[in-house]
Amino acid sequence: MSTTSAAPKAASNGGFTAAAATYLEERTSISAVVKEFGRKIFPDHWSFLLGEVALYSFVVILLSGTFLTFFFQASMAETVYNGSYAPLKGVEMSAAMNSTLNISFDIRGGLLMRQVHHWAALLFVAAIGLHMLRIFFTGAFRKPRELNWVIGFMLFILAMAEGFTGYSLPDDLLSGNGLRIIDGMVKGLPLVGTWISFLLFGGEFPGTAIVGRLYTLHILLLPALVVAFIALHLTFVVVHKHTQYAAAGRTQQNVVGYPILPVYAAKAGGFFFIVFGVIVLIASLFTINPIWNYGPYDPSPVSAGTQPDWYIGFADGALRLVPPGWEFVWLDRTWSFNIIVPVLVLGLFIVTVAIYPFLEAWITGDKREHHIADRPRNNPGRTAVGAAGVTFYAALWAAASSDIIATHFKLTMEGVIHTLQACLILGPIVAYIIAKRICIALQKKDRTIALHGYESGRIVRLPGGEYIEVHEQLDEYERWRLVSFESYQPLMLRPNSRGKITASNRLRAGLSRWFFEDRIAPVTRGEIEGGHGHH
Amino acid sequence: MRAHPHTTSRSRRKTGRRHPLATLALIAIGLGLTGGGYAAFNSSTASAETATASKQSVDEGKKLFMANCATCHGLNASGTDNGPSLIGVGAAAVDFQVGTGRMPMAMQGPQAEEKPVQFTDDQVKSLAAYVATLGPGPAIPDASLLKPDGDAAKGGELFRVNCAMCHNVAGAGGALTEGKFAPDLHNVTPAHIYEAMVTGPQNMPVFNNLNITPTDKRDIITYLTYIRENPSPGGFELGGLGPVSEGLFLWIFGLGSIVALTVWITAKSN
């Protein structure tokens, strides 16, 4: 009773805004949320916005996708095209293809929306990829954020699934070929392959069910999962607070940056429109997925240059790089490894990415929380492993376009394939060594600068005739950035409480040595104070 | 045949824009019309001559053959270790190979590359006439078979089933084995498309008239002409290469510009 009588009093004091605010507050207690979130601090660095790019492109995908669902018919019923695109008039095709062509040619704004949707999808997965690389190379996945890395990884997988199901919906020649490859991969699994394929397609490929099924996944299940995981992901970001790069005044306990209200909310809101604008600009100028060229799906033709969208390219590349003849006949059956081996290799690669935070935590044995992001050079082992992984992925990725590389650089197909096979195996090793050496060299440079200052370019002639270059000392703020990092020492191999050295201990010590044997220790206070005397 | 609609559309665009160089354009149109008229008059008299003087053309072709082709194909065109026999390949094969600049080859390679045409149109026709006398083979197609006014939808279907696996659905070309490739079809004249189908140059299979009838061939030419003359309704095509060029574009220009914008947004004001 007392609360209801308070409202008119406030209204008479502060006008409509105050009355409305009071009304809301009394019914929702929202002020606690505003107080908590409005003062939430986010650090300001361009690389922290990559995840936001992914989020915003997802919003664009939701908006444009909703428009498309108004007109798309997820059916493989046979129809005859009678729309306005002349070279397909009178051609038999599925209702899905027919309605996609209608969206492209006969519905106002339809083609733009289709292109916005598709370009935004490519940007969504690309932004996730770049965001993951940023997290990886700065070590932002360390405790307490390991679980959030896994959630983000799940989002990456879900985004690829969203992309692939969407790519398959128009039922054009390209998407049908893509599905045929998936069908082949599924059928290549030993024992269960054929069963799974028939289950998936509701009979022999392509059947009449797959577009409807993919549509349900594409607009219902997968987006629901993506939204749920994004919510979880962002909740964790709030709970953990954002990481920040080392600088003066930034510690493991604080976050230096702008509060959400008003600065960050304004910036982020504006940035949403910038991302939206860039996507619409690209979509209005550049064709994507011209299904009118591809024509309706028909199992007999396969176009030259048939590729999946970029994010599935690494899987396509893995299939292309398998040398021929990995099969034998035994018990009157052909045992083929052409499919199962690349599938297993990709599976291993993906699982390694997913569990990397736990692997690294196990190797270092570090149980502390880390809120200061590493500079990549300050953890040469991790950076080198990352570089090797990127090279491995890049070789698979390039292999998916082996035919286009061959025609455009006037090379032979075989030459391109063999080179990429070599890159797949040797590339990661070379990248590992080079990245590690570069990191260590950069650390050495940092160490020299922190201790002796930077070369000022001023040459001074001493009374004795000697020429020296004057080194200027860094200011305290700059130096802090160079010296505040951690460096792990390789674990000592010690017997456990029962006096035994287990195999897992040996493995762990070996990995630790591999990671941290070559290392540059950060400059200590004593060294800095001692160093001043020299120059 | 193809150059004519091109010049008119280009000049129309220039004058429509009220370009400061409109006068120049007008002069160019005037010169073009006079030149074109002269050329039309000239070629009509020339074709009248070839009809009557085909013996002379064959002799001329033989001379050209001896000077330019016999080194590899042999003095009587029956082939050597360096080049195949040309007996029975027909005039269409010569018109295609020489008319697109593939022959004479600059060097042996995975396949004969297109290059600037080495002979005048008359010389190509003479060479073709000479080779046609060596044995029966496909003739240079009649202009009525090349008119792009057939059924583009049927042509598209035939193209996807018969041609797209090498030439790509958008005719952008594709890779074959050992450095060979199926070329881009965007700048190929209808006559050369037809001749390629009936003669099967390089690694291309022959699509004879039982396999794809002359009307079907015209439909394919109609389809290719349609996609050449009607640019993509979605905007720039990025080479018509499909997801690879789309992905590259997105990573370099799409994500590149977004990253540049993130740097701009978080830059400290001075």
* pLDDT tens digit at each of 270 positions of chain B: 444 544 444 445 545 556 667 777 677 777 777 766 665 555 444 343 344 447 888 889 999 999 999 999 998 888 899 889 999 898 999 999 999 999 888 888 888 888 999 999 999 999 999 999 888 889 899 888 898 888 999 999 999 999 999 999 888 889 998 889 999 998 899 999 999 999 999 889 999 889 999 999 999 999 999 988 988 899 998 888 889 999 999 999 999 999 999 999 888 765
DSSP symbol at A311: G
Chain B residues with beta carbon closer than 8 angstroms to that of A305: 168, 172, 174, 241-242, 244
Cβ–Cβ below 8 Å for B170 and A89: no
Indicate whether A489 belongs to any domain.
Answer: yes
Cβ–Cβ below 8 Å for B174 and A271: no
Cβ–Cβ below 8 Å for A313 and B243: yes
Domain of B29 in residue numbering reads as 1-52
Instruction: Give yes or no: residues B48 and B66 share one domain.
Output: no
Side chain identity at residue A252, one-letter code? Q
Rounded Cα gap, residues B51 and A463, in angstroms:
100
The nearest CA of chain B is from the CA of A115 a distance in Å of: 8
Cβ–Cβ below 8 Å for B160 and A104: no
Q: In chain A, which residue's Cα lies nearest the Cα of B243? A: A309
Measured torsion, CA atoms of residues A506, A512, A513, A515, in degrees rounded to the nearest 10: 150
Cβ–Cβ below 8 Å for B174 and A286: no
> How distant is the alpha carbon of residue A75 from its chain centre?
32
Q: In chain B, which residue's Cα lies nearest the Cα of A178? A: B243
Indicate whether B76 belongs to any domain.
Answer: yes
Cβ–Cβ below 8 Å for B241 and A303: no
Indicate whether B66 belongs to any domain.
Answer: yes
Q: Which of A311, A412, A416, A417 to mutate to test the interface with B (most CBs of B within 10 A)?
A: A412
B 221-260 residues with CB below 8 A of A? 223, 226-227, 232-238, 240-251, 253-255, 257-259
Write the residue in B157, B167, B248 that is nearest to A304 by C-beta: B167
Q: In chain B, which residue's Cα lies nearest the Cα of A87? A: B153
Write the residue in A119, A292, A301 that is nearest to B164 by C-beta: A301
Indicate whether B109 belongs to any domain.
Answer: yes
> By the CB < 8 Å criterion, does B35 face chain A?
no
Indicate whether A480 belongs to any domain.
Answer: yes
**CB pairs below 8 Å between A and B: how many?**
198
Instruction: Give yes or no: residues B70 and B33 share one domain.
Output: no
Cβ–Cβ below 8 Å for A87 and B170: no
> How distant is the alpha carbon of residue A74 from its chain centre?
29
- CATH number of the domain enclosing B83: 1.10.760.10
CA distances from B112 to B61, B66, B102, B137, B184 (A): 21, 20, 5, 21, 14
The nearest CA of chain B is from the CA of A304 a distance in Å of: 4
Q: Using alpha carbons, select from A181, A491, A497 the residue that is nearest to residue A360.
A: A491
Cβ–Cβ below 8 Å for A90 and B164: no
Q: Do residues A305 and B174 touch, judged by C-beta distance below 8 A?
A: yes
Q: In chain A, which residue's Cα lies nearest the Cα of B178? A: A412
SS3 A238: helix
B 12-31 residues with CB below 8 A of A? none
Instruction: Give yes or no: residues B67 and B90 share one domain.
Output: yes
Chain A residues with beta carbon closer than 8 angstroms to that of B254: 119, 122-123, 126, 278-279, 282
Chain B residues with beta carbon closer than 8 angstroms to that of A310: 243-244, 246-248, 250-251
Indicate whether A32 belongs to any domain.
Answer: yes
DSSP symbol at A221: I
Chain A residues with beta carbon closer than 8 angstroms to that of B256: none
**CB count, 10 Å around CB of A322?**
16
Chain B residues with beta carbon closer than 8 angstroms to that of A290: 170, 232, 234, 237, 240
Q: Do residues B129 and B57 touch, judged by C-beta distance below 8 A?
A: yes
Backbone angles phi, psi at A247, to 5 degrees: -165, 170
Chain A residues with beta carbon closer than 8 angstroms to that of B258: 53, 123, 127, 275, 278
Indicate whether A162 belongs to any domain.
Answer: no
> By the CB < 8 Å criterion, does B2 face chain A?
no
Chain A residues with beta carbon closer than 8 angstroms to that of B170: 290, 293
Q: In chain A, which residue's Cα lies nearest the Cα of B155? A: A87
SS3 A265: helix
Measured at the alpha carbon of residue B26, what is the angle toward residues B22 and B27, in degrees to the nearest 5?
Answer: 120
Chain B residues with beta carbon closer than 8 angstroms to that of A86: 152-153, 226
Cβ–Cβ below 8 Å for B179 and A412: yes
Indicate whether A448 belongs to any domain.
Answer: yes
Indicate whether B87 belongs to any domain.
Answer: yes
Cβ–Cβ below 8 Å for B265 and A53: no
Q: In chain A, which residue's Cα lies nearest the Cα of B234? A: A287
SS3 A21: helix
What is the ipTM for the molecules in this complex? Answer: 0.90
Cβ–Cβ below 8 Å for A414 and B258: no
- For the four alpha carbons of B35, B40, B44 and B49, in that order, the dihedral sign comes to positive
Indicate whether A28 belongs to any domain.
Answer: yes
Indicate whether A212 belongs to any domain.
Answer: no
Indicate whether B106 belongs to any domain.
Answer: yes
Chain B residues with beta carbon closer than 8 angstroms to that of A402: 175
> By the CB < 8 Å criterion, does B261 face chain A?
yes
Indicate whether B131 belongs to any domain.
Answer: yes
Chain B residues with beta carbon closer than 8 angstroms to that of A46: 259, 262-263, 265-266
Low-confidence ranges of chain A (pLDDT < 50): 1-7, 10-11, 533, 535
pLDDT tens by residue, A336-353 = 888 899 999 999 999 999
The partner residues of A92 in beta bridges, in order of sequence, read A80
Rounded Cα gap, residues B257 and A132, in angstroms:
19
Q: In chain B, which residue's Cα lies nearest the Cα of A303? A: B165
Q: Do residues A462 and A468 touch, judged by C-beta distance below 8 A?
A: yes
Cβ–Cβ below 8 Å for A115 and B177: no
Rounded Cα gap, residues B27 and B11, in angstroms:
11
Cβ–Cβ below 8 Å for B173 and A407: yes
Indicate whether B5 belongs to any domain.
Answer: yes
Q: Which of A133, A310, A390 to mutate to test the interface with B (most CBs of B within 10 A)?
A: A310
pLDDT confidence of residue A263: 82
Backbone angles phi, psi at A319, to 5 degrees: -65, -40
Cβ–Cβ below 8 Å for B236 and A287: yes
Q: Which tokens hold the place of A513? A: 């040595």
Write the residue in A50, A310, A412 that is nearest to B243 by C-beta: A310
Cβ–Cβ below 8 Å for B265 and A267: yes
Total domains in the fold of chain A: 2
Rounded Cα gap, residues B19 and A85, in angstroms:
33
Instruction: Give yes or no: residues B48 and B62 share one domain.
Output: no
Q: Which of B160, B230, B253, B259 to mutate to test the interface with A (most CBs of A within 10 A)?
A: B160
pLDDT tens by residue, A2-24 = 444 444 554 456 789 999 989 99
Helix (H) or strand (E) holding A460: strand A454-461
B 123-182 residues with CB below 8 A of A? 152-153, 155-157, 160-161, 164-170, 172-179, 181-182
Q: Which tokens hold the place of A526? A: 């004593």
Write the residue in A122, A173, A300 that is nearest to B250 by C-beta: A122
Indicate whether A77 belongs to any domain.
Answer: no
Helix crossing, A380-399 with A110-137: angle to 10°? 150
Rounded Cα gap, residues A134 and A50, in angstroms:
8
Rounded Cα gap, residues A358 and A354, in angstroms:
9
Cβ–Cβ below 8 Å for B243 and A309: yes
Domain of A480 in residue numbering reads as 437-531
> How distant is the alpha carbon of residue A260 from its chain centre?
25
Total domains in the fold of chain B: 2
